[in-house]
A and B are shown apart, each in its own frame.
Chain A
Amino acid sequence: MSQSNPPFMSGVPELLALRLLAQQEMYGYELVKMVRLVSEENITLGEGVVYPVLHSLEKSGALKSTSRPVNGRTRIYYSVTTKGHRRLKTLTEKWKDIRDGIESVIEGENPCFNQK
């Protein structure tokens, strides 16, 4: 992928998709553009990768899709289900824990080192 994400980004596309689709239903292309926009281009997904993530979330019941004809093309719009909202909450909490942990390592003085 020309703009692939490093391995530690695993799980992030799922979180981003749920977070953005919880606000507004979108189709794949719109979602990728929205990710770029809200992350101020700090997160750039390999654009094709968004589809397996969306399909997998749909299979697990976190998303539902509806197809609609727009400008002669059939668009598949995705929106978050109740189960998806629960999944989003869990993922957000987990991600915040990880973020706090990393921040404390990067920015904080580690008392363990001072004890030595």
Chain B
Amino acid sequence: MFQSKITPPEFSYLAEKLLRGGIAPRQVKRTVAELQDHYMDLYEEAIVHGISEERAAQDALSSLGKEQDLIKEILSQKKLLSWASRYPWTTYGFGPIFLAIVIATAPIGILESLLILSEDMTIYLMPDWMQSSFIQHLTNATFFLASYIMPIIITGYMCFQVSIRRDPLVWPIIGATFMCIFAASYNININWPDLPGYHMYLFGDFNFRTFLMRTVINATLITVFMTFCFKKYRFFKELTDR
């Protein structure tokens, strides 16, 4: 078989339109790769039949069909739409909040599970160092993570996803707003039981002024972080083109 040195077309217009139409990036990448292979097969077959390279390239592209028709055909297949495109509220709105709740409560959940386990086994599983001072540090760390670090990480991840999926910029803004509100309202204290067989208990208080202040701090941190990302990374810059 003839092995050509030409490179197939990149189908960048098609890829861009498919991404903007809601097709998952992985699916787009695969479609483009298969079209490129198909193009090369057509091209090589034409060359073997004695057709000139220029003509073979033109014919191969023409045989694949017009890009517009192909885009229309692919977008008509609803099964190929990404989850984020079909359920944007879940992906960018409630999903991150759910993730944030899991992250914020996981350390406490793990400790409580150990307590329950130790109760069932009638031994106190916790080592000496894991006493109230450790719990205090854990509480502080969890609080800091859930209140200030997690919103930035999750918003950054959402922006990255929106960027590669070419989804509208409104979605990470909605997601970031949800995250700011959730993170600002997260307030929890843990009381470690002194005796085996007792459970830890959690309490939190709500103060509107503190909540407002923390919302503003989070929004500022996210804005600063995103401004940094827009300046540094090309794919974030593309977000502003929409």
Which A residues are in CB contact (< 8 Å) with B37? 27-29, 73-75
B119 interface residue, CB < 8 Å from A? no
B40 touches A55 (CB 8 A): no
Shortest CB–CB separation between residue B107 and chain A, in angstroms?
38
Interface: B207 (CB within 8 A) = no
Q: Is B239 positioned at the interface, with any CB of A under 8 Å from its CB?
A: no
Chain A residues bordering chain B, tally (CB within 8 A) = 25
Query: Which of A48, A60, A75 is close to B64, meaning CB atoms less than 8 Å apart?
Result: A48
Query: Smallest Cβ distance from A26 to chain B, in angstroms?
Result: 12
A46 contacts B79, CB within 8 Å?
Answer: no
User: A57: shortest Cβ distance to chain B, in Å?
Assistant: 9
A29 near B1 (CB under 8 angstroms)? Answer: no
Interface: A23 (CB within 8 A): no
Cβ-Cβ contact count across A and B, 8 Å cutoff: 75
Asked if A2 is at the interface (CB within 8 A of a chain B CB), the reply is yes
Instruction: For residue B34, give the distance in angstroms from its CB to the closest CB of chain A.
Output: 5
Stretch at the interface among B67-75, B139-147, B179-187: B67-75
Number of interface residues, chain B, beta carbon within 8 A = 26
Where chain B touches its partner, the secondary structure class is helix
Q: Which of B43-81 contact A (CB under 8 A)?
A: 62-66, 69-70, 73-74, 76-77, 79-80
Minimum distance in angstroms from B222 CB to a CB of chain A: 36
With A and B bound together, what is the CA distance between A73 and B65 in angstroms? Answer: 22
Do the beta carbons of B80 and A4 come within 8 Å of each other? no
- Contact indicator A48/B79 (Cβ below 8 Å): no
Answer yes or no: A25 CB below 8 A from chain B CBs.
Answer: no
Q: Which of B30, B31, B41 contacts A29 (CB 8 A)?
A: B41
Residues in A1-38 with C-beta less than 8 Å from chain B: 1-4, 27-29, 32
Please pick, from B33, B34, B66, B77, the residue contacting A1 in the complex, using a CB distance under 8 A.
B66
Most buried by A among B1, B65, B66, B70: B65
- B63 in complex: contacting residue of A2, A27, A53, A71, CB < 8 Å: A2
Q: A4-B69, A71-B1 are in contact. Are A52 and B38 (CB under 8 A)?
A: no
Give the complex CA separation of A29 and B69 in angstroms.
Answer: 18
A contact residues around B3 at 8 Å (CB): 71-72
Least Cβ distance of A92 to chain B in Å?
Answer: 21
Closest A residue by C-beta to B14 = A48
Is residue B42 within 8 Å, beta carbon to beta carbon, of the partner chain? yes
A52-B31, A60-B79 are known contacts. Are A29 and B65 too (CB-CB below 8 A)?
A: no
Can you name 18 A-B pairs with beta carbons within 8 Å?
A1-B69, A2-B65, A2-B66, A3-B63, A4-B65, A4-B69, A28-B37, A46-B70, A47-B63, A48-B65, A49-B73, A51-B31, A51-B38, A56-B77, A56-B79, A60-B79, A74-B37, A76-B30
Residues of A within 8 A of B (CB): 1-4, 27-29, 32, 46-49, 51-53, 55-56, 59-60, 71-76
The 7 closest A-B pairs by CB, nearest first: A1-B65, A46-B65, A48-B64, A59-B79, A56-B77, A29-B41, A52-B74
